[in-house]
Structure 1
Amino acid sequence: MNKSTQGLNTMLICFALLGCSEQAKQDQSVHAEADDTQVVAAQAEDEQGSQPAAFVEIDKQAYQQRLQGFWLGQSIANWTGLITEMDKVGTPETMPFYTDQDWGSKDLPAMWGEGVPHSDVIDFYLEREGVPWGADDDTDIEYIYLHLHHQLQTAKLTAEQIKQGWLKHTYSEDDAPLFKKFADSEPVKENFLWESNERARILMAQGMLPPETSEAKNNAKYMMIDAQLTTEFFGLLAPVNVAVAKDIAYLPIRVAANHESAQIANFYVVMHSLASSVDKDLPIAEQGIWLATQARKHLNDNDYPAKMFDFVLAHYRNNPDKQNWEVTRDAVYQRYQLEQADGYQYKDPFEAGINYAASLVSWFYGQGDVKRTIQIGSLSGWDSDNPTATWGGLLGFLHGIDGVKSAFASDNISDTYWIHRTRRNFPDHTPTKDGEDSFALMAERMLSIIDLVVVEKMQGRSDANKWQIPVALNTK
């Protein structure tokens, strides 16, 4: 390969994968920077001999900081969103929805008539240093998968490994411990599994394996939001390579989701995988649009998730007032809950569909700002903690842990994690601190899993400082 061909190929990768800046487009050197990620041209051997290839090169230390940001951002968003979870679900008793005017006001009861114990005010919730973040269903199943991958030293979990992990680390309805939601409330058994996840756990206890646990004939709750909460992080285990990300996430998604709900879960996995490819020279709002539109390509055009995406994005783009997110949320309510358009049949506020549409409202109008996205997500309605936690994690990854702390203007934010609040049978990684783990240690273990994924699933390279992930050259 001559130098001019090498330069052309490198530029083509740069344009297609990273969307390089104008300066990088004019630079025909052998690499193009994109923050802690760069594309390098190299020689790779195949059966026919030496062929041109390229690698996305990712700095491990920087990636670890991003992973810590993922766990912290997800925890802040989860516990902030829990304050308004199911307060507003579009029924006559709970209309109108929250708006920006409600931020900082007293929280109203959820549809089941209760508030939450950690806050009675609609505002950002931050756990102070020294007090661990409590596990919740937005983070604890992902934690189980992190533990299983690391313990088993595998790049991809089998159905049997997933089943055994769930049975060991989650409670059944029978052996769950007593839990008091409020200091003066009666203790009840609580296994912190609901909807499709609860049904899947019952099926696994009977010996059934995924993907059968998400088949409609076995699990009538397969269309619920559950898989979104438990699988986004697989995209971070497979940076850049969407095909591998979808492959290792397939069985975890199919524990509890099928058909459109599985497509929606895949959408979030793709966004997390491509987060390492985004052009950091773009304004942060445009980075978010790019990630979302790239993930849109993985939806079936004929199904309602794709049509929801197109509707919400068009409504956002046509709205001249990008602060008025409420008008798009209200349009989602009208179109999908009331009119049941685009083949979507609304039945339950826990469904993947209505919450997917609501999540897109907060993603687009949040414009890449961590606080604003969490705020909008928390006020959007329906299962507000779940989409909000997803975006808090993704933006935490994009900004890194220092960026999250800077956004909240605080260094006094906890970085420890209490998995045994909801799950069981884990080692205590932080025996001198409350809780069992820290975001730094969790990120460190994720790096070792990514080593396996890069080498075994991507045929890439890993050393002490970086990964080199091969990408195909395309000169067409």
Structure 2
Amino acid sequence: MKRFFALILILSACKTDPESSFNFNPDLEIAEYKPEGTEIVIDRVEYQEKLEGFWLGQCIANWTGLITEMDKIGGDGLDGKGAGFYTRENWGGPDEPNIWGSNELSETIGFYFEDSLWGADDDTDIEYIYQELLLKNKTSLLTGEQIREGWLKHMKHEEENYLWVSNQTALNLMLDGVIPPATSAPENNPDYEMIDAQLTTEIFGLFAPGRPDFAKKMAQLPINTTARENAEWISQFYVTMYSLASIRDGNEDLKTSLFEMADRASKVLPENSYAASMYRFVKEKYDEGATWEEARDALHEKYQVRQEDGYSWSTKDKVCNGCFAAGINFGASLISLFYGEGDLKETIKIGALCGWDSDNPTATWGGMLGFMLGKSGIEKAFGRTVGEQFNIHRTRVGFPNNGIDNFENMAQKGLFVIDRVVQENLGGGIDRLKNCWYIPVANP
């Protein structure tokens, strides 16, 4: 572990370019900063390309996972639908109807691409809202009132609004005047351990590069808008992973980096939680040499059938045996992470075939691996160019330009958020000439 973090100080070398004009947060007065030589140094140009990769990778993985979302939830399924599981042999084959009886997105299971305009989904749209709220409110730490105002402004209240389980319950509570974090309190929100926060808060890890301590602080109230207990800890795991992705040593192979990152991130999971038990169980299956299908089947048997380690959502949830629960989908995401071994395409494939709410784990790792590869690395991996526009108004409302944005602009806004975090919250500095951030290393 020490080797991984000993190399963070030489990740990138800033390049002086007096002929260039760089854009910085227009609402922030850049202060003079004298580097001490011990900081994490990050090139903002390179980071923007990585943020574009985050949005693009997340969209590809999200929409690929939507093809198989709720196709398979194990056992006898729900009312005769969704029984059993897919295997590797199903990739490229026919997509079966999900538990709602539809399979309209694609007739076959495979990667999904858009050549021009990507539609927002619940794996991307609330992260988009949080980035906008941070900029609008000129802050790095959102308040409950600011979150409530943003949700009420940008989410439809009655008609189809692409919200489910804990997100929808939280919105209903906000409409009644409840302010986060009370919107996730178990006495107010019975869906507090559903999957929702896992897909709405990972981006905060990218806003605090190499500083998971502050990333978790930034994300805490957004997480507690919809999640408590295991769902909260699982979300913190993802935020930590994303923050550590910012400081990966480029000389180390991606698989090694990911496994080291996951080991460190797992420390946020309380030892006696079912989330920690799931992490250990999946990692043990991988280390034993089980196939990913065998690991997935064993996960289902242990937690949904036998309900071990205090995991009871398969009976507590009467809708679909806990198919939206934070826990079982966390286990599925770990299977795709470990068995994907850093390969973007393989990770998405496994995530899409693993079962349950398959668009969520795929979007999480597609976004993180997409960030680590950068936009150009994603296009190289798939051997093609991909659309760069984004329609936030597919699922949300109230944004300019009729909701049409693009990944370059979205990444630029991310840089502005980080400018404030680095200077005001991390005690670091911004080099306007070299276009770099200097980020002090956290105390042990």
Q: Is this a same-fold pair by TM over 0.5? A: yes
- 3-state DSSP class of the match of 1:125? coil
| CA deviations over 1:328-356 (Å, ceiling 9, x no partner) | 11111111111111121132100000000
Question: CA separation in 2, counterparts of 1:409 and 1:53?
Answer: 40
Does the CA contact (< 8 Å) of 1:67 and 1:400 recur in 2? yes
- 3-state DSSP class of the match of 1:382? coil
Q: Does 1:379 align with 2:353?
A: yes
- Tell me the residue number matched to 1:46: none
Does the CA contact (< 8 Å) of 2:10 and 2:40 recur in 1? no
Alignment CA distance shift 1:330-1:362 (3 Å): same
Question: CA separation in 2, counterparts of 1:402 and 1:329?
Answer: 32
Question: CA separation in 1, counterparts of 2:283 and 2:334?
Answer: 8
Amino acid at match of 1:33: I
Instruction: Give the drift of 1:33.
Output: 2.3
- Tell me the residue number matched to 1:127: 114
Within 5 Å, give how 1:134-145 maps onto structure 2. 134-145=119-130
1:423 to 396, 401, 406: 396
Within 5 Å, give how 1:35-434 maps onto structure 2. 54-92=38-76, 93=80, 94-116=82-104, 118-128=105-115, 131-173=116-158, 176=159, 190-319=160-289, 324-347=291-314, 348-411=322-385, 413-428=386-401
Q: Does 1:33 align with 2:10?
A: yes
Structure 2's unaligned 5+ residue stretches are 16-34, 315-321
- 3-state DSSP class of the match of 2:84? coil
| CA deviations over 1:40-93 (Å, ceiling 9, x no partner) | xxxxxxxxxxx9872101110001010000000000000000000000001314
- Tell me the residue number matched to 2:424: 456
Larger radius of gyration: 1
Query: 66-75 or 92-101, which moves further after superposition?
Result: 92-101
Alignment CA distance shift 1:108-1:473 (3 Å): closer
Instruction: Give the drift of 1:280.
Output: 2.1
Question: CA separation in 1, counterparts of 2:362 and 2:137?
Answer: 31
Question: CA separation in 1, counterparts of 2:323 and 2:208?
Answer: 31
Question: CA separation in 2, counterparts of 1:263 and 1:415?
Answer: 33
Question: CA separation in 2, counterparts of 1:249 and 1:37?
Answer: 29
Does the CA contact (< 8 Å) of 1:19 and 1:278 recur in 2? no
- Tell me the residue number matched to 1:7: none
Whose strand fraction is larger, Structure 1's or Structure 2's?
A: 1
Amino acid at match of 1:111: I
Alignment CA distance shift 1:172-1:36 (3 Å): farther
Does the CA contact (< 8 Å) of 1:285 and 1:368 recur in 2? yes
- 3-state DSSP class of the match of 1:471? coil
Alignment CA distance shift 1:338-1:37 (3 Å): farther
Question: CA separation in 2, counterparts of 1:154 and 1:470?
Answer: 20
Amino acid at match of 1:115: N
Does the CA contact (< 8 Å) of 1:37 and 1:56 recur in 2? no
Would you say how many aligned residue pairs link Structure 1 and Structure 2? 413
| CA deviations over 1:112-139 (Å, ceiling 9, x no partner) | 11113x31210000101xx310000000
Larger RCO, structure (CA 8 Å, separation 6 or more)? 2
Question: CA separation in 2, counterparts of 1:461 and 1:231?
Answer: 25
Question: CA separation in 1, counterparts of 2:441 and 2:37?
Answer: 7
Instruction: Give the drift of 1:36.
Output: 6.4
- 3-state DSSP class of the match of 1:368? coil
Instruction: Give the drift of 1:15.
Output: 4.1
Does the CA contact (< 8 Å) of 1:278 and 1:290 recur in 2? no
Question: CA separation in 1, counterparts of 2:37 and 2:250?
Answer: 23
Amino acid at match of 1:460: G
Question: CA separation in 2, counterparts of 1:208 and 1:138?
Answer: 24
Query: 55-64 or 143-152, which moves further after superposition?
Result: 143-152
Amino acid at match of 2:57: G
Does the CA contact (< 8 Å) of 1:53 and 1:470 recur in 2? no
Instruction: Give the drift of 1:264.
Output: 0.4
Alignment CA distance shift 1:32-1:225 (3 Å): closer
Instruction: Give the drift of 1:287.
Output: 1.2
TM-score (norm 2): 0.90
Question: CA separation in 2, counterparts of 1:210 and 1:236?
Answer: 23
Instruction: Give the drift of 1:37.
Output: 9.1
Give RMSD over aligned pairs.
Answer: 2.0
Instruction: Give the drift of 1:398.
Output: 0.7
Does the CA contact (< 8 Å) of 1:37 and 1:277 recur in 2? no
Does the CA contact (< 8 Å) of 2:12 and 2:42 recur in 1? no
2:5 to 18, 21, 45: 18
Alignment CA distance shift 1:399-1:342 (3 Å): same
